[in-house]
Structure 1
């Protein structure tokens, strides 16, 4: 009988350890899910900021080009020519 009792005690100990480990892993899993959710939200916010900054950069680049900075003379001429073509097209549409 004592051998059976020892086996049962050993099984109870192992089951208790497994249960404790399972609870720890579940808690750890929840924490990791929370961290993942937070990281996902941060990534989404940063992606929005990146897109906003890209748009602002393009706007500044166009404004700088239209102002005729020395660095972008070619771009300035191309942009002005493009605007003139658009205006000519609009005038042609209005006169039809």
Structure 2
């Protein structure tokens, strides 16, 4: 899973968001390391929806433009949680070795 995808899914863990809110949440969660272009975000959202990882929760018209709210599915939640565990385990390999070497 790419880091961008990980943060998009993480952004949706607290509830449905529209595209602009996802962009902001991804930037906040990644401490501004991940700044997605609008086209990149919507390409990712379309792929995630096609894979059943997210769904469109609702649509509304705001200032004459369609706004779609996306929600993470149970499968998506399981996927991002598994990725978080995988990254935690991978990081532990290095931190155990480097911290162990420091205190030896």
State TM-score, norm by structure 2. Answer: 0.30
Of Structure 1 and Structure 2, the greater strand share is in 2
Rg larger for: 1
Of Structure 1 and Structure 2, the greater helix share is in 1
- The structure, 1 or 2, with the larger RCO (C-alpha pairs under 8 Å, 6+ apart) is 2
